[in-house]
């Protein structure tokens, strides 16, 4: 059974199902289509499926042209049910894994997907989980669900974990240029998944188990969380000491070894960094270990939007913020993407609204916003508009913004991203 599936994978004679067509699943699905595989996309969100059928992309890393090319190949179709799985020899799960509460994982999307897969799976199918989760999920949660359906690993199916490593909007590292870590329940499963991914990515990195692969992803993002938390705390300290944290970082990174630059900001957004380390934190507590660095870094980063508002109050020298006119420039969680997930800019706007400020925003990628019951429309970035505000806050440093226009016409600028690197101007305040 294993040798037959391995042969079909090597000859690209196996159909692949990708469950979950978000920022991970859709680029992955199209990558396999380009490599000559037939791919079935499954997503319970009917709007997503409708957009795909109409060749309208809803994520940054996939264009309308990409969807048209995939549809034209005849090797990609998207559905909102699981019935098509019976025709697939490989199933890749790319569903969300949010938090129930601040420190509690929610793997209900994984469980639902696995239960549906178990109902429709063919004998000898390879199942791969890519959704980020805590160590042990593949072996302790997914395998028992298959067993409850009467399916035995190695006899009826093979199971692996391979963490997604997609960086939305990063054109230098699309899916196929990012090495793929693969950990199977056994060596046979790992060999099958490795053979599959070798068709699609630049390098495959097999590890000894699914549990190791699960922990690899959490280590990567925990490393980033801890260092971002550290540099944000140092930025607060540097402001109190009246030294420029950006200048300090630039000087420190000239050291050719032993230092890696991280940069302060208004917080951390996206799906991964705010959440993934807390999966590791939660799991460690079950082993009697408190990952204090992780919790502290998370708390420091979570407080940054409030700190930004405190700084705005100080910059304006207002005892009360009520009525202050604030323009937030850039609201996505990172530059040059349309992604709003957990964007700290949205938290800053919400805190300013609580202070009764008159808040507006500009973002060339986001035409309108809804925060609570308030709907905002992106302001045009013009000289007369800029002059109307007490302070302009650069929350996301999109490449296409006219920073010269802002500098010339804004009364005060709070630069959270070092957009005005090297400039010395009394109206520009930095984080």
Residue closest to 27 by CA, chosen among 49, 60, 50, 53: 60
250: left (phi over 0), alpha (psi -120 to 50) or beta: alpha
Residue closest to 17 by CA, chosen among 73, 94, 110: 94
Q: Is 89 helix (H, G, I), strand (E, B) or coil?
A: coil
Active site residue 160: no
Over the Cα atoms of the chain, what is R_g?
24
Instruction: Report d(CA 55, CA 69) in Å as an integer.
Output: 9
Instruction: Report d(CA 3, CA 124) in Å as an integer.
Output: 10
| CA separation, residue 201 to residues 35, 66, 196, 305, 352 (Å) | 10, 18, 9, 38, 44
CB 383 within 8 A of CB 405: yes
Instruction: Report d(CA 325, CA 337) in Å as an integer.
Output: 26
Q: Which is the catalytic residue, given 272, 357, 388, 391?
A: 272
CB 143 within 8 A of CB 170: no
Instruction: Report d(CA 5, CA 159) in Å as an integer.
Output: 13
Helix (H) or strand (E) holding 430: strand 428-430
Instruction: Report d(CA 244, CA 237) in Å as an integer.
Output: 10
Residue closest to 304 by CA, chosen among 345, 341, 245, 272: 345
| CA separation, residue 34 to residues 41, 49, 87, 272, 398 (Å) | 14, 19, 20, 27, 30
φ and ψ at residue 100, rounded to 5 degrees: -70, -50
Tell me which residues are annotated as active site.
Answer: 272
């Amino acid at each position: 059974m294993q040798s037959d599936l391995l042969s079909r994978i090597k000859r690209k004679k196996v159909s692949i199902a990708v469950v979950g067509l978000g920022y991970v699943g859709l680029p992955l699905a199209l990558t396999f289509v380009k490599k000559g595989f037939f791919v079935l996309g499954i997503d319970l969100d009917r709007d997503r499926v409708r957009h795909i059928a109409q060749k309208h992309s809803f994520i940054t890393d996939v264009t309308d042209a990409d969807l048209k090319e995939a549809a034209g190949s005849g090797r990609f179709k998207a559905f909102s049910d699981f019935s098509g799985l019976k025709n697939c020899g490989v199933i890749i799960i790319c569903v969300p894994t949010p938090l129930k509460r601040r420190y509690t994982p929610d793997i209900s999307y994984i469980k639902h997907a696995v239960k549906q897969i178990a109902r429709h799976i063919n004998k000898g199918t390879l199942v791969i989980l890519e959704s980020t989760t805590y160590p042990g999920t593949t072996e302790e949660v997914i395998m028992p669900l298959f067993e409850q359906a009467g399916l035995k690993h190695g006899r009826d199916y093979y199971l692996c974990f391979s963490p997604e490593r997609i960086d939305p909007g990063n054109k230098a590292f699309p899916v196929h240029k990012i090495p793929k870590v693969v950990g199977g329940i056994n060596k046979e499963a790992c060999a099958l998944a490795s053979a599959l991914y070798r068709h699609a990515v630049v390098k495959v990195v097999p590890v000894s188990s699914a549990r190791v692969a699960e922990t690899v992803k959490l280590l990567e993002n925990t490393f980033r969380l801890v260092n971002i938390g550290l540099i944000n705390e140092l930025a607060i300290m540097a402001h109190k000491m009246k030294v420029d944290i950006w200048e300090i970082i630039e000087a420190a990174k000239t050291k050719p070894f032993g230092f890696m630059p991280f940069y302060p900001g208004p917080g951390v957004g996206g799906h991964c960094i705010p959440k993934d380390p807390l999966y590791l934190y939660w799991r460690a507590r079950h082993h009697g270990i408190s990952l204090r660095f992780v919790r502290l870094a998370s708390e420091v980063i979570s407080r940054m939007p409030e700190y930004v508002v405190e700084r705005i109050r100080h910059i304006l020298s207002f005892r009360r913020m009520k009525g202050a006119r604030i323009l937030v420039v850039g609201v996505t969680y990172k530059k040059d993407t349309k992604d709003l997930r957990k964007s700290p800019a949205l938290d800053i706007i919400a805190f300013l609204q609580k202070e009764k400020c008159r808040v507006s925003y500009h973002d060339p990628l986001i035409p309108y916003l809804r925060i609570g019951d308030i709907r905002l429309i992106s302001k045009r970035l013009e000289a007369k508009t800029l002059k109307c505000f007490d302070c302009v806050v650069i929350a996301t440093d999109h490449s296409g913004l006219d920073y010269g226009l802002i500098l010339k016409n804004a009364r005060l600028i709070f630069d959270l991203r070092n957009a005005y690197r090297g400039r010395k101007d009394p109206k520009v305040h930095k984080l």
